[in-house]
Structure 1
Amino acid sequence: MPQRKAAGDIKTSSSDSVQKNMHSARAIMKRFSPFYALGAIFMAFSGCSTVTDLITSKIPESHAGKPAIIVSLREQEAYLYRGGYRTASSRVSSGREGYRTPIGRFHVIRKDADHRSSLYGDYIDDSGRIVKANVDSRRDRQPPHSHFVGTPMPYFLEFSPGYGLHQGYLPGVPASHGCIRMPYWKARQFYDAAHIGTPVVVKL
């Protein structure tokens, strides 16, 4: 029969675990300001990706220099560089089948923190009720007494006409109409770091 641990062994193991957690917490407090440290500790115990994005997007960058963005479609990741050093990364969702994200070397040509799609969105009536959702304004007929409202695309960094990085839903697979979706806090971080002319490389 398997041996049962003595109560003393269990207590010692639990105590060791607490001491290790406290040691990690002290290390975090020394490295970051109290605000970020509390968030980092919460992140470590919660495992919440939103909290992770929030905390890591607020950590001061350790390198200076001109920004650059590299997107890997295979990895579904975007990377922010400063002076040749990687300073941040983010999960992304690129274009799905039939709506491929363009590959190549580009530059940021427009920034719009409150951007909305001019093609994809909903038909809404005057009371604000959605009459027809998830439409393509070029193909889907507009119902009577309704108007088109584009899908919000906050922190839009356009790198090719009609294509850009922006905040959006990430289902874990390529799912967009060609743009590169990012979590809110990461989209905001990349948006704040980039400027018109910032290099953007999109690769497989």
Structure 2
Amino acid sequence: MDLLKQRIREVGVVLSDDIIKLDAILNHAVDPALTTAMGKEFARLFREENVTKVLTIESSGIPIAFATAQELNVPMVFARRKKSLNTDSTEMYSERVPSFTKGFVTDIMVSRECLDANDRVVLIDDFIANGDAARGLIRIIRRSGAELVGVGIAVEKSFQAGGRTIREMGVRVESLAKIASLHQGRIEFE
């Protein structure tokens, strides 16, 4: 997606050969026009799949997933990272996943009321690096009995294994921008 690549070139801050900071458009602030465009593109890519739910993980995936769900006219569900006082763990699907950028392991949870065997789910997220969060969400989808129709990623760091490992599982992965390298502070796209 050319618009996303352009915005990454404009605001992306390369912190290392493995990490790019996109706070101005994805991870801290939200660019409404860009987010809407990404949602429309994901909806175009997955429209023929008869999606009934869009699933993401809090928090940076929520705006893009919402824009996608709005365009597809279906509900959006997000996996929580923290238990709240009104959370009953017996009523939740839960998975333990490490976070590449946060550097710790966390539990992600989705209410059993939000996913069931009648659902056709597209998973939408902002980034994929190692793919741990995506694999955790895929396990939750499968345990719920829902059908995963594909994964939409705004920014795939294709020099890391995440996207490849999800594809090797036989899952359709659509990435709007694929970063091939961040070597020496330069953003190189596929």
Q: TM-score, normalised by structure 2?
A: 0.24
Q: Whose Rg is larger?
A: 1
Q: TM-score, normalised by structure 1?
A: 0.23
User: Which protein, 1 or 2, shows the higher relative CO under an 8 Å CA cutoff with sep ≥ 6?
Assistant: 1
